[in-house]
């Protein structure tokens, strides 16, 4: 019993994980432990390795070194077992445009082996909550980007995954839906669902995440709660933006702005 | 009208259609030198042909024969404009069909300062670049050179002008049809509601069938000389059809009816202008028309429990198969697949109509049965299998992220290919059986072999389809890399021959038993040979199936475990 519990203590555990694409080092020796029910934000500028890290957790990208463990399962050994427990939203997802929103969600339910009754209940609830009612029977090709994003978010949440991997999930959502998704993630966290989400929007990270991981050039610069990050940066009263700029060494933006204004 | 803008738009169109075709020929044509060589080559070839004709004419000693050639040449000239109209229509429609499924068209850049007139003109001219223009260059240069020998320069110049006019008319018509098609199909979608998907599928198929019917009739059907003869005389009877006015002008010139010639020349120019104005107006009105979204279901949602579950497919496998079925009935670029078997049946019909309509010789009818029984279904298996993975397109991330095992993936994709191809096979065999009336035994043997071919080759092409999958969707869904597509076809051809090889002696016997042969085949190829041949065929097919099953599962494992390196 004790042993079982300790094995499952971490929802996600990355040990010495790195990934290179040719000359580009996308991710460099990252160690990351995420506890159950935690919401962790991956924060970093474009190209810092957030998406690659998420894909490695899901098993879509094979790390060159290190190991990835999800909910007690080694991703390399049982990739399908891991995928079954994960809800994934890629960045700017493309989905089958020839299906209707409803058909796509129905398809997702079947892919994850949901029972018909449960599938129906979950789809109806989500469609209503995210204001897709009335359009769910239309072909996705006629949806706006935000509506497509909503459909993908529903498909990631509807099969009750234990781990959510969300790559820039709120981009393109209207404020009301973004708020609903945020509240939903909090609610799910209290039920023990773990979330790892990437973002480059500082406000989202600060408002939603228990802990924040700052990534830069494929490396994990800092990891901790807001308070811990402030201490690490020795900027006790600062906002996340200033900490972020200081830690990533991109603090002094004044000359750049001045150059642009010329 | 700003001509610089028009020229710039044309060059954009040429580049984008090269991207759309995405063939290697495209990259050859990219080379400006080679493009020039093509046109100059057509010009030189035309000149040589014209020179040969002219020399031949000059060399003829008999004045009566000379007179006859002269007459023939003038009546040929008269038909050229209408001929140009027909090939202009066929080629410009063809290039429109090639654009089916293209995601980003060169939309009228409506936020740029471009008028609809400029846009429409550019589109009309760009449509003619390539085959229609090369053919025209060839014809014109041969006419001009030959006419120098015949002393018909003036007529030749008029012919060239009329030919250009006709070609232009054809392209404007295609442009008008294009705009109307979008608008009308949008209106139909709105009216049809739920059934819009089926209306669209049927409409697309019917359009393509009609197009190919016309195309094959022109290429293989009615004899060419008969067509020209009837056109030379027939044009004038059909004077009320504006499309023929260019030809009528020429025939008026030939017959010395100067007044009529002037009238028809003026009305033809008026017609082109009116057509062009109509195209511009239509474009201005509907050019930015967005088809209404298709609503497929309304009201409460009830999950379906399908038939597939009872056949031993897991809910995941059944879901993938249902999704693929929807893709093939809803994505226009995939609907194209449906017409392939129809075209294969049409081709021999059209070419057999051309011959005497008497009873078919028995060899021909037996051959026809084998052809229709085996070919469309097998080709369906080979092409569906090879594009089924690539047709996921950029949505492939979903498959990557889903808990789908390689074996499930292969199972779903394989049986989808097999079901589809077998359905086609059964329909084709029924059709061929009614048409060529073979014995029941022949029908059963044909079905058995077709069945083996479909079962084995579906797996083969599935494995290459995964290996060579190309998920890029812009500007046009690629599905499979050309090289792998070629490899797949070559290997499928070889393996298909291997599967049917045991049957070849038997087929030879059946086909030629009515003909005298030096050896008596029936003593060598007995009944028992037939059964052992069928058995051998089945064994070969089974071996191919299992060999490629392993390869396919391996390929699927690689596919599912690596997204982007
Ligand atoms: N499939 C790939 N092939 C080559 N390079 C890649 C690939 N995916 C990501 N990269 C590179 O890896 C780095 C990290 O990318 P990514 O993880 O997408 O960053 P982020 O999501 O933080 O913006 C970038 O430099 C990117 O160019
Ligand atoms: Mg990213």
Q: What is this model's ipTM?
A: 0.89
The alpha helices in B287-361, defined as continuous H runs, are 315-330, 332-354
On the question of pLDDT at B28 being above 80, the answer is: no
pLDDT bucket at A25, cuts 50 / 70 / 90: very high
Rg (CA), chain B: 28
3-state class percentages of chain A: helix first, strand second, coil last, to nearest 5: 40, 25, 35
Task: Say if CB B130 and CB B91 are below 8 A apart.
Answer: yes
In the reported structure, the alpha carbon of residue A21 is separated from the centroid of ligand 1 by a whole-number distance in angstroms of: 8
> Of the candidates A90, A106, A117, which has its C-beta nearest B397's C-beta?
A90
Tell which one of A41, A42, A47, A57 to mutate to probe ligand 1, the residue whose CB is within 8 A of the most ligand atoms: A47
Distance from CA of A59 to the nearest CA of B (A): 7
pLDDT score, position A2? 41
Question: What is the DSSP code string of A196-220?
Answer: EEEES-HHHHHHH-SEEEEEETTEE
Confidence of residue A254 (pLDDT cuts 50, 70, 90): low
Give the distance from residue A148's alpha carbon to the nearest chain B alpha carbon, in angstroms.
Answer: 12
Please give the number of the atom of ligand 1 that sits closest to the Cα of A49: 17
Q: Reply yes or no: is the peptide bond before residue B475 cis, omega within 30 of 0.
A: yes
Alpha-carbon gap: B492 to the closest alpha carbon of chain A (Å): 30
A28 touches chain B (CB under 8 A): no
pLDDT for residue A198 is more than 90: yes
Contact B458, B496 (CB under 8 A): no
> Is residue B63 a contact partner of residue B437, using CB atoms and an 8 Å limit?
no
Instruction: Tell me if B565 and A98 make a contact (CB, 8 A cut-off).
Output: no
Confidence check: pLDDT of B324 > 90? yes
Residue from B9, B24, B158, B145 nearest B81 by CA: B158
Q: Between B138 and B301, whose confidence is greater?
A: B138
* Interchain pair B330, A61: CB under 8 A: no
Q: Could you tell me the two tokens for B269?
A: 């120019």
**Coil, strand or helix: which one is B312?**
coil
- Where is pLDDT greater, at B518 or B335? B335
What is the C-alpha separation between A256 and B434, in angstroms, rounded?
A: 79
d(CA A92, CA A96): 13
DSSP B355: S
| Distances in whole angstroms, Cα of residue B154 to Cα of each of B53, B158, B160 | 18, 6, 10
| Chain-centroid distance, C-alpha B149 | 40
Dist CA B482 CA B22 (whole Å): 9
**Interface test with chain B among A81, A86, A88, A96, by most B beta carbons within 10 Å:** A96
| Rounded Cα gap, residues B10 and B370, in angstroms | 47
Average pLDDT value for chain A = 87
pLDDT tens by residue, A61-96? 999 999 999 999 999 999 999 999 999 999 888 999
Domain boundaries, chain A: 2-78+194-260
Residue B357's pLDDT band, with cuts at 50, 70 and 90, is very low
Percent over 70 (pLDDT), chain B? 85
Nearest to B77 by CA among B219, B224, B239, B248: B248
Give me the residues paired with residue A89 across strands.
Answer: A166
β-pairing, A194-199 vs A39-43, is parallel
The answer to whether the beta carbons of residues B546 and B460 sit under 8 Å apart is no
d(CA B351, CA B133): 28
Q: Which residues of A touch B403 (CB under 8 A)?
A: 80-81, 83-84, 111-112
Q: Using CA atoms, how far apart are residues B323 and A98, in angstroms rounded to an integer?
A: 9
pLDDT tens digits, one per residue of B91-104: 888 877 777 666 55
The mean pLDDT value of chain B amounts to 83
> How high is the pLDDT of residue B370?
87
Q: What single string gives the DSSP state of each residue in A144-163?
A: -HHHHHHHHHHHHHTT--SE
Which helix (H) or strand (E) segment holds residue B564: the answer is: none
Tell me which residues have their CB closer than 6 angstroms to ligand 1. Answer: A 21, 24, 26, 44, 46-52; B 564-565
Q: Can you tell me the distance from the alpha carbon of B317 to that of A252, in angstroms, rounded to the nearest whole number?
A: 55
The confidence band for B166, taking pLDDT boundaries of 50, 70 and 90, is very high
- Predicted pLDDT of residue A172: 81
Min distance B312 CA to chain A CA atoms (Å): 15
Backbone angle region of A234, left / alpha / beta, with phi > 0 → left and psi within -120 to 50 → alpha: left
Residue among A82, A142, A102 nearest B294 (CA): A142
B69 pLDDT band, cuts 50/70/90, is confident
Those of residues 118-137 in A touching chain B at CB distance below 8 A are: 119-120, 123-124, 136-137
Q: Are B434 and B488 in contact (CB under 8 A)?
A: no
pLDDT beyond 70 at B421: yes
Of the candidates B317, B400, B396, the residue with the CA atom closest to the CA atom of residue A79 = B400
What the block records as the tokens of B78 is 């008269």
The residue whose two tokens read 């190309």 is B470
A158 pLDDT more than 90: yes
A27-64 pLDDT, tens per residue?
999 999 999 999 999 988 888 999 999 999 999 899 99
pLDDT of B487 > 60? The answer is yes
Number of CB atoms found within 10 A of residue B426's CB? 14
Q: Model confidence at B318, in pLDDT bands (50, 70, 90)?
A: very high
Interval between CA B433 and ligand 1 midpoint (Å): 58
Among protein residues, the one whose CA lies closest to atom 17 of ligand 1? A49
Domain made up of A2-78+194-260: CATH architecture:
3-Layer(aba) Sandwich (3.40)
Could you give the C-alpha distances from B418 to B9, B252, B341, B421, B425, in angstroms and in order?
45, 60, 15, 5, 10
**Which pLDDT belongs to residue B225?**
53
């Amino acid at each position: 019993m004790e042993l079982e519990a300790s094995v499952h203590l971490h929802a996600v555990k990355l040990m010495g994980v790195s990934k290179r694409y040719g000359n580009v080092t996308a991710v460099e020796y990252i160690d990351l432990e995420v506890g159950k029910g935690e919401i962790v934000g991956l924060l970093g500028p474009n190209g810092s390795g957030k998406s690659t890290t998420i894909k490695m957790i899901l098993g879509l990208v094979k790390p060159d070194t290190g190991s990835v463990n999800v909910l007690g399962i080694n991703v390399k050994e049982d990739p399908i077992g891991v995928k079954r427990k994960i809800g994934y939203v890629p960045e700017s997802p493309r989905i089958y445009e020839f299906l209707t929103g409803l058909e796509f969600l129905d398809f997702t339910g079947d892919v994850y082996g949901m029972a018909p009754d449960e599938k129906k209940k979950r789809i109806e609830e989500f469609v209503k909550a995210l204001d897709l009612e009335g359009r769910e029977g239309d072909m996705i090709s006629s949806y706006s980007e935000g509506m497509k994003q909503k459909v993908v978010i529903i498909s990631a949440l509807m099969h009750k995954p234990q781990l959510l991997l969300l790559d820039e999930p709120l981009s393109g959502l209207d404020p009301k839906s973004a708020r609903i998704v945020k509240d939903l993630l909090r609610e799910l966290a209290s039920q023990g669902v773990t979330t790892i989400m990437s973002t480059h929007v500082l406000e989202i990270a600060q408002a939603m995440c228990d802990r924040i991981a700052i990534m830069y050039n494929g490396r994990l610069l800092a990891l901790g709660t807001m308070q811990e990050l402030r201490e690490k940066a020795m900027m006790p009263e600062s906002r996340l933006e200033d900490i972020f700029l200081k830690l990533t060494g991109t603090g002094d933006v004044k000359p750049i702005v001045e150059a642009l204004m010329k | 009208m700003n001509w610089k803008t028009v020229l710039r738009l044309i060059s954009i169109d040429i580049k984008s259609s090269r991207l759309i075709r995405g063939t290697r020929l495209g990259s050859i044509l990219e080379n400006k030198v080679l493009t020039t060589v093509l046109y100059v080559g057509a010009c030189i070839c035309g000149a040589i042909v014209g020179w040969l004709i002219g020399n031949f004419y000059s060399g003829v000693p008999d004045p009566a024969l000379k007179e006859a050639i002269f007459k023939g040449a003038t009546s040929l000239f008269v038909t050229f404009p209408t001929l140009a109209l027909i090939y202009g229509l066929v080629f410009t429609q063809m290039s429109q069909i090639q654009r089916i499924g293209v995601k980003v068209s060169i939309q009228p850049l409506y936020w740029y300062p471009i008028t609809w007139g400029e846009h429409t003109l550019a589109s009309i001219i760009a449509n003619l670049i390539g085959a229609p223009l090369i053919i025209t260059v060839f014809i014109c240069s041969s006419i001009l050179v030959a006419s120098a020998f015949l002393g018909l320069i003036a007529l030749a110049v008029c012919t060239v002008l009329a030919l250009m006019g006709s070609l232009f008319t054809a392209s404007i018509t295609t442009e008008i049809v294009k705009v109307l098609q979008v608008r009308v199909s949008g209106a139909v979608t709105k009216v049809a509601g739920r059934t819009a998907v089926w209306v669209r599928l049927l409409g697309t198929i019917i359009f393509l069938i009609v197009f190919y019917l016309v195309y094959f009739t022109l290429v293989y059907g009615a004899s060419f000389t008969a067509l020209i003869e009837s056109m030379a005389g027939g044009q004038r009877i059909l004077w009320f059809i504006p499309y023929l006015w260019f030809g009528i002008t020429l025939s008026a010139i030939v017959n010395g009816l100067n007044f009529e010639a002037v009238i028809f020349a003026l009305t033809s120019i008026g017609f082109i202008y009116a057509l062009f104005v109509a195209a511009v107006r239509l474009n201005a009105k509907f050019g930015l028309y967005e088809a209404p979204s298709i609503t497929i279901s309304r009201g409460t949602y009830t999950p379906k429990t399908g038939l597939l579950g009872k056949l031993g497919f897991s809910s995941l496998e059944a879901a993938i198969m249902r999704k693929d079925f929807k893709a093939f009935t809803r994505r226009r670029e995939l609907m194209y697949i449906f017409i392939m078997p129809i075209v294969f049946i049409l081709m021999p019909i059209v070419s057999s109509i051309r011959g005497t309509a008497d009873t078919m010789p028995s060899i021909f009818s037996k051959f026809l049965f084998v052809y229709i029984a085996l070919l469309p279904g097998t080709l369906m298996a080979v092409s569906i299998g090879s594009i089924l993975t690539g047709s996921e397109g950029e949505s492939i991330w979903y498959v990557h992220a889903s808990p789908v095992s390689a074996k499930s993936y292969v199972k779903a994709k394989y049986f989808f290919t097999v079901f589809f191809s077998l359905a086609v096979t059964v329909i084709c065999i029924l059709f061929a059986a009614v048409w060529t009336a073979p014995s029941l035994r022949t029908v059963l043997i044909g079905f058995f072999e077709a069945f083996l071919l479909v079962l084995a080759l579906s797996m083969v092409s599935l494995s290459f389809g995964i290996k060579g999958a190309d998920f890029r969707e812009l500007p046009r869904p690629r599905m499979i890399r050309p090289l792998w597509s070629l490899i797949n076809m070559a290997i499928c051809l070889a393996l298909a021959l291997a599967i049917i090889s045991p049957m070849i002696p038997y087929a030879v016997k059946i086909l030629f038993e009515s003909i005298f042969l030096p050896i008596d085949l029936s003593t060598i190829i007995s009944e028992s040979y037939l059964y052992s041949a069928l058995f051998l065929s089945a064994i070969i097919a089974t071996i191919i199936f299992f060999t490629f099953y392993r390869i396919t599962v391996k390929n699927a494992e690689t596919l599912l475990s690596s997204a982007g390196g």
